Structure 1
């Protein structure tokens, strides 16, 4: 690498970057639609190959899409290096483009999944491409991993993620940047729960009193669960379904709950409170709570803070003061950071409205964050 290399000198055309990002956004890829996710993986794999990577397709977990890994040529290929880790699944169902089309309006660009996190994933690949075009060889080998189920907690890909992460010295995750143009050096702990209410059937018209409504049971528990939220631990119910015929007292009702805490011990207490709600009543009705996916708390250690210090130095050269902090909303960096692998998260684009029909990026951040990631890739050493 030239001794006078500066990320600011990389040639990046914002209009070209936006044009290249568009196909990623218009290839809708909701987690629960494996065919759609795999179409997105096809697109990403083709661009990895075009950028010179050796591409490996990793079969996805049952009912979910595949993962894709790209390993870039390097004299030290096979040694521990840098893993750029992103997910390409989104929360937006196929058809969202009708109400949230890809469009650029002034300083913003809109589209489903553009902020969380296809924009950052795309920018991470463009950082690699820009370095190659500039003739800059990284000191460490670089690999890219695109996964398929992060939006549901990575239940099927966690082992894949950790198997790949353990091969590397550093993990870079281009999830959305923190407000104020910062990055993420820690994540709160998150637990998911599956809830099941089991009632007693009867005809809702002629024998209503003989039944016990599972939906009614769930409604009462929902209010009780959300009332448990305090300063240390939050609780919410985000998915609910029950009943099939309006003239039948519903026998079952299912829901999913989420709990988040800044400290692991607070989440552990929250888990105990949730599991304690399981009960079987004298009338034969039941309410059952089972634990789902859990993301451990990730607190920054010396390795992560050293990684941030380098990012701050690069950001300073690019003209801004980079801040950092812990954040809610899980990430796959929860896993890698909690295991002690130096990880830097929130390297992706700036914007707002993710998971809504107002999801957008700040266009200026596309080149800015691409340069930041390119600087990290070029300067990280073993």
Structure 2
């Protein structure tokens, strides 16, 4: 078994290699839904992981191939079968359109620690950290205690409409789930996340001349406005709910009663009870107007993962971090991710094990090299001992 301090000392000699790898992954842009770029990136990532993994697969999806890597563990059950696995969850896509890296390339600041560029924080630094963690174990002759699976989906930034099935499948039988999303400010782990959903509400009305025959028509736009007001009232009555009408459209022109309208609505909720109340109001709407027809389509969904301050997995990681001389605070996130699913299922879960930084999705996105190296040592230590 490798000593934690040995792993930390060794990884701190990997700075130049980590920067080179980080730069390479950032240079291969991966906007969500771009299957061709996802394929190029996937081949690069698979090649890097294959140096230590026992098997790497690239299951296909609508937006390109995802990736799953496997490492064997040294521990077995009483009947000799593999012990429950540790699941690592990550994503390869970013919110930035192709061409962003030409304008804002990967750059190391004068402090020798801060790196900038599209996706350095969310979350290509995390992928480098995983490669380093497994390389650390290999170089020191150590192996994971339990089997390890790494799932990297390519559509997390748009709600994992396909990738969530992959996470769910590999969560079955998992002993623990480590999410590699960026941490909270100060490098804090995430031990809870609000749930989110996107729903499209459509209204079908009846067109008519707005001046001559208005009474013959049914305005889909008026109906939609009333439905949104109802939904707003429902959300306002729930203390942990948030609602955002992101897009709205409908009608044809000012002198025609609109026969169609729709809105895309974002919902956030901290509890399963609030989720049920919001979904019931939105997915089972009652028309205000007799001849209006309503339909709702759930576009994406992540359940709420309630924060548990006594999260035992977080306690284990905090203890390991202390042995490495590192502080590891904990907190809850207002955003959602793929670990919402595993946390809501009751599987021991933590997230935010990526390197510290800030500015996700923005022009000033940045992350810390020293933190990346420390996270790699922490992950390697956990896998080796737990």
State the SS of the aligned residue for 1:170: strand
1:102 is displaced (CA, Å) by: 2.2
Per-residue displacement from partner, 1:47-83 (whole Å, max 9, x unpaired)? 11133431112122xx322221111244458542222
Alignment of 1:47-126 (within 5 A): 47-60=48-61, 63-75=62-74, 78-106=82-110, 107-126=113-132
1:285 is displaced (CA, Å) by: 5.1
Q: Is the 8 A contact 1:127 1:371 kept in 2?
A: yes
1:259 — aligned with what?
267
Q: Is the 8 A contact 2:249 2:261 kept in 1?
A: yes
Q: 5+ residue gaps in structure 1?
A: none
Structure 2 length as normaliser, TM-score?
0.83
1:269 — aligned with what?
277
Per-residue displacement from partner, 1:21-61 (whole Å, max 9, x unpaired)? 1121122212222222222222211111133431112122x
Q: Is the 8 A contact 2:190 2:331 kept in 1?
A: yes
Q: Is the 8 A contact 1:199 1:213 kept in 2?
A: yes
1:236 — aligned with what?
244
Change in 2 beyond 3 A, CA 1:250/1:207:
same
State the SS of the aligned residue for 1:180: helix
Stretch of structure 1 that moved more, 15-24 or 48-57: 48-57
Q: Is the 8 A contact 2:205 2:218 kept in 1?
A: yes
* In 1: Cα distance, 2:117 partner to 2:217 partner: 46
Are 2:11 and 1:11 equivalent residues in the alignment? Answer: yes
Per-residue displacement from partner, 1:287-338 (whole Å, max 9, x unpaired)? 5333343222223569x82221221112213333322122121121111122
State the SS of the aligned residue for 2:88: strand
Are 2:126 and 1:132 equivalent residues in the alignment? Answer: no
State the SS of the aligned residue for 1:127: helix
1:340 is displaced (CA, Å) by: 2.0
1:234 is displaced (CA, Å) by: 0.3
Change in 2 beyond 3 A, CA 1:194/1:140:
same
* In 1: Cα distance, 2:38 partner to 2:326 partner: 36
1:150 — aligned with what?
156
1:291 — aligned with what?
298
Change in 2 beyond 3 A, CA 1:211/1:25:
farther
RMSD: 3.3
Q: Is the 8 A contact 2:206 2:259 kept in 1?
A: yes
1:249 is displaced (CA, Å) by: 8.4
Are 2:365 and 1:364 equivalent residues in the alignment? Answer: no
Change in 2 beyond 3 A, CA 1:104/1:73:
same
Change in 2 beyond 3 A, CA 1:3/1:101:
closer
1:177 is displaced (CA, Å) by: 0.7
Change in 2 beyond 3 A, CA 1:197/1:14:
farther
2:350 — aligned with what?
344
Q: Is the 8 A contact 1:280 1:287 kept in 2?
A: no
* In 2: Cα distance, 1:243 partner to 1:119 partner: 46
Q: Is the 8 A contact 2:171 2:342 kept in 1?
A: yes
Change in 2 beyond 3 A, CA 1:217/1:361:
farther
2:22 — aligned with what?
21
1:233 is displaced (CA, Å) by: 0.4
* In 1: Cα distance, 2:181 partner to 2:213 partner: 50
Change in 2 beyond 3 A, CA 1:362/1:3:
closer
State the SS of the aligned residue for 2:328: coil
Q: Is the 8 A contact 1:225 1:236 kept in 2?
A: no
Stretch of structure 1 that moved more, 358-367 or 247-256: 247-256
* In 1: Cα distance, 2:99 partner to 2:152 partner: 23
Change in 2 beyond 3 A, CA 1:196/1:372:
same
Q: Is the 8 A contact 2:2 2:140 kept in 1?
A: no
* In 2: Cα distance, 1:320 partner to 1:212 partner: 64
2:79 — aligned with what?
none
* In 2: Cα distance, 1:239 partner to 1:99 partner: 29
